[in-house]
Amino acid sequence: MNKEIYSVSSAWAELEERVRNCRACKLCETRTNTVFGQGNRDNQVVLIGEGPGEDEDLQGLPFVGRAGQLLTQILEAGKISREDLFIMNIVKCRPPENRVPTTEEMVKCNQHLDSQLALLRPKIVVCLGNTPMKWLLQTTEGITKIRGKWFDWRGAKLMPMFHPSYLLRNQSRAEGSPKHQTWLDVQELKKAIENI
């Protein structure tokens, strides 16, 4: 009889396959590609967005559109390479018109998110914007109030930051502006990564 030998890489492959074939919610009917997530699976630093946009849906990769390019720049300004993080979303399929995912969609997709988190065993989690922040922290607080703060979350340090789409709509770099606050948050993140 064949003995099945558990390995992390086969667990990842199985999970990727499960996401690729997922039909748990209606988003599967309108997606082009699922967006599993991308990046370093060993560093225990995870960034979580809301859901794929148009470019992500077309390419099957997270944060590759305009917001994603800004995210890459913001991280690089803080001397963080996006390849050093694992980047993923709460839902793996694009909500039509880029609407916020429904609670039902997030509940259905949470099996994938939880499996990813179990394999990644993050020490640092960054939530981008209100949707992942509210989903993971189960809070009714708004992002403007609690961004840049560290929370204990399942044994990891979790920090909410503004979503890069929000920063695209708020371009000021003046002190106290969302961009300025994000610059401060990225420096906090860099420090936390160095102290893992």
Q: Which residues bind ligand URA (CB under 6 A)?
A: 49-53, 56, 62-63, 65, 67-68, 89, 129-130, 143, 162-163, 166
Coil, helix or strand for 60? coil
3-class DSSP string for 146-159: HCCCCEEECCEEEE
Rg (CA), the chain: 17
80 or 93: CB nearest ligand URA: 93
The CB-of-136 to ligand URA minimum distance in angstroms stands at 14
24 or 185: CB nearest ligand URA: 185
User: What's phi and psi for 88, nearest 5 deg?
Assistant: -150, 180
Residue 185's region, left for phi above 0, alpha for psi from -120 to 50, else beta, is alpha
Tokens of 121: 């065993």
8 or 168: CB nearest ligand URA: 168
Position closest to ligand URA via CB: 49
What single-letter amino acid sits at 192? A
The CB-of-161 to ligand URA minimum distance in angstroms stands at 7
Residue 11's region, left for phi above 0, alpha for psi from -120 to 50, else beta, is alpha
The CB-of-83 to ligand URA minimum distance in angstroms stands at 16
Residue 74's region, left for phi above 0, alpha for psi from -120 to 50, else beta, is alpha
The CB-of-10 to ligand URA minimum distance in angstroms stands at 26
Residue 131's region, left for phi above 0, alpha for psi from -120 to 50, else beta, is alpha
The CB-of-160 to ligand URA minimum distance in angstroms stands at 8
75 or 196: CB nearest ligand URA: 75
50 or 193: CB nearest ligand URA: 50
108 or 162: CB nearest ligand URA: 162
The CB-of-150 to ligand URA minimum distance in angstroms stands at 17
